[in-house]
Structure 1
């Protein structure tokens, strides 16, 4: 199979496409012919070596945790998907190096589910990691529901634009920080935009004089400190980037975990027309360096995706 590989840590320039052996399929694995794999910050941080202390690495390293494609094989313990089915998944494993930026990937069954019927592979490939991060932060930890006023930091990014839609679908009012060029996009998602930076608390008070009932931080960089003055329910805080800041406020840190039920919930929302991933750009596998440079360059609206012919 063809795959994106790195033989050493570094930036986009260490990535190349070459032939590798097809993956082995264990008893709990689903073999997926990859059609699309989105790029998440954790992917290029792994390539850069920033997670070296957290996971054993197999070389050459094939990055990628998101995937959408067709089941072409399955281990004997797999019962919930079958050969020929379109699936999407979060292919995190106990080691790093046999990822989804390839023509084939073996995905642990705990991280794969039937794909949303309403989405093509490119859109479905954007949902697993970012969508489950948003779901676990908002639904499990914050328990966002009707009557909440939720403040989302980085509300138009890869996780934030999905979190906005999930919160709106659950009946919450969403106020989201984003840059001014993204204000109209956030309104289209059902949120109310506010520009981040100096004076944020004052701008939030203008929008929500009674404050907000929960805060989801998808950007860090002092976002929670800027929210302290307007949060009316202490402890209803989550962050995906700043464990210490969340803990200091009685909140929680979210590192997404694979969960078939959560993937299924995302697929149901998508098929109900309540959750649509925004694709900023699509790149062929051979253009992976350009794709990673774009994804890591900041100010991404939605997701950057690799397409596999």
Structure 2
């Protein structure tokens, strides 16, 4: 499989991101990058990012997760971050991404997992615990959803998909700066570090077009089965944080998702946060851990 690998020097001296890289060989000899911090024998926070971000998104939450005595595993999906980036857009399918995360969980033998997810981290991640329920104990979910194909996609998402499709060489730094005005220029540039040019953005381009938008779309049946799991079978603890300024997967989408998560308590509503709610940092983790302890 023809794939690109972002040069290591692109990741030097990124603000707030001093974590050592770890790599696993995946399907087709592709190399997946993951952060792996904290006690190897402790419970795990599995942190899954979305589009067009990478594990850098979790840099402000990781210290709080470590302070809670969790092992933090934050992979970069193929096509993102320090993971390899197949050039052929057809490589990127719902199953390709899901299988890669399942393979990571099995390769590292992760147990006692708290699934921490947002955006595509949730669209993919929320479909996984039903097939390995003994490994998962808790859920921390932020600004995401399930692509069940039987619910119309929101206008905010349709607008985002159209925008993304119109920008094959998306300016990731500028996008992040607009979405999170508090970012420094250096932080915004760090989000763009994995993508030296448009050739590296095949995975970025594909994600919006993989959201199941009809009942027979790839991933839709899986997502409907996941909806049943979370609403009827899930017995773990859950916590939801909502970036209230998100025009794509904001309050309406998250309230609909909460209705399908069994025993999910009232959410933490972050009035000043948008789609990339992880930028709010430690407060999300602290509130989640307090909720889990009750």
TM-score (ref. length: structure 1) = 0.28
